[in-house]
Amino acid sequence: MTHPEQSGLWPENLTVVDGVWRLGGVPLTELAEQFGTPSYLLDVPGLRARAARYRAAFTEAFAPAPAEVYYAGKAFLSIAVARWMHAEGLRIDTASGGELATALAAGVPGADIGLHGNNKSDAEIDQALQVGVGRIVIDSLDEIDRVQALAVARGVRAPVMVRVTTGVHAGGHEFIATAHEDQKFGLSLASGAAAEALARIEASDHLDLLGLHSHIGSQILDPAGFAAAARALLGLRAEHAERSGTLLAELDLGGGYGIAYLPGQHEVDITTLARSLARTCTEECARLGTPMPAFSFEPGRAIIGPSMLTLYRVGTVKPVPVSAELTRWYVSVDGGMSDNIRPALYDAEYHAALVRPSDAGPVQARVVGKHCESGDIVVHQVQLPGDVRTGDLLAVPATGAYGRSMASQYNLLPRPGVVAVGDGAPREIVRRETVADILALDLG
């Protein structure tokens, strides 16, 4: 029997049989023993299957128009993950020199890598040109001049796209919505900045204008925003063709596909979404009298998020009387906001489950970390068996995206490792830090 709450919430190869929790057939108790806690556990076959499903959904829905999927490395990137993504036919979307270097270290060819960023350094742009990245996504007018100058210096042509602020507001928390007007990303469609960027790029003989880009936000469950952004980009493409006589070859519609974080929630059905988006684009192109462009997409969270869980060890358990009716059980784990900042930063909700059988009745619990802040909360509210106690293992699902990638060493806690399961023997693909690592950075 697989886990009763299975719905895209837990990794695909997680099973619970007779109260024994296994990932890829390996008991979680053994993984805790071998690799320690907290650890991020990655279901490798599950991850690869998700990547393949996303790729298939977009390529099948948009055919005969070509469609590529770039895995958004900001959600979580390591050499092994970049390799698996590339082996599944995905390209890699990077947002810094560090992410670019990691994709390259995985053996991903420059041509299969994209570089993003609202404030790329000259060194990052130059590195991208040196390795021949497939695209640099232009995010401001002054960046055009910088890319051009660096391309001239290297004697190469730079392939670029323009990130367009479409005005579409979508996504979860305000901090993760990215295409409304008053924020730092992209070039505004409404103000004419996007059109100006296109004209400037076309006037350069060292820049190749590939097309237009839009990313409207993250953790989006309603497909309407993607359709609105696609129509806006197709409209701009048609206008640009009229003005300049050039029909841009490609549209990148970004990432942002939402996943389940709690039992009962459902992730975006990507096959349905891709089909409906393809229909929208086909109809809009017909209305505008332009042929379909090539498409690309940049999912991060939806691929890595549900493929990982965090395994914690329970420490202190403290019943706190809240009212006459409610005692809240504060269940402390051996990590917290340093390995998952999302609850504190975005009010993100998570689920937790006890990794052993229990017949005890449920109590109202709050899973908290070990940091010196009352906002150090992993799960605001969850029912746990009343016999939860020190030494228990607790599993928190859907922590693969923006968990390890946003982890910190707050309170000088070493960051947890990432353990890959299901690809040969379980092994760390990102090593757990030690206090010695922290001290090694401290120059005294």
Residues that bind ligand LLP (CB under 6 A): 72, 74-75, 93, 116, 176, 178, 215, 218-219, 254-257, 298-302, 342, 346, 401-402
Contact (CB, 8 A) for 124 and 100: yes
Q: Closer to ligand LLP at the Cβ: 367 or 401?
A: 401
**DSSP H helical ranges for 245-328:** 270-288, 301-304
First vs last C-alpha separation in the chain: 54
Tell me if residue 285 is catalytic. no
Q: Closer to ligand LLP at the Cβ: 187 or 314?
A: 187
Torsion of CA 185, 191, 196, 198, to 10 degrees: 60
CA distance 84 to 309: 18
Q: How far is the CB of 124 from ligand LLP (least distance, A)?
A: 15
Q: How far is the CB of 66 from ligand LLP (least distance, A)?
A: 19
Q: Closer to ligand LLP at the Cβ: 301 or 351?
A: 301
Q: How far is the CB of 299 from ligand LLP (least distance, A)?
A: 4
Which residue in the list 324, 372, 425, 441 is annotated as catalytic? Answer: 372
Q: Residues of 35-47 as b/e, b for ≥16 C-beta within 10 angstroms? A: bbbbbbbbbbbbb
Residue 180 structure tokens: 């409304």
Residue 381 structure tokens: 């509210």
Peptide bond before residue 27 is cis, with ω within 30 degrees of 0: no
CA distance 371 to 344: 12
CA distance 313 to 335: 9
Residue 47 structure tokens: 């991850």
Q: How far is the CB of 218 from ligand LLP (least distance, A)?
A: 3
Q: Closer to ligand LLP at the Cβ: 26 or 72?
A: 72
Q: Closer to ligand LLP at the Cβ: 72 or 388?
A: 72
Q: How far is the CB of 326 from ligand LLP (least distance, A)?
A: 30
Distance set, CA 4 to CA 8, 50, 59, 246, 391 (Å): 11, 20, 32, 54, 24
Q: Catalytic site residues?
A: 372
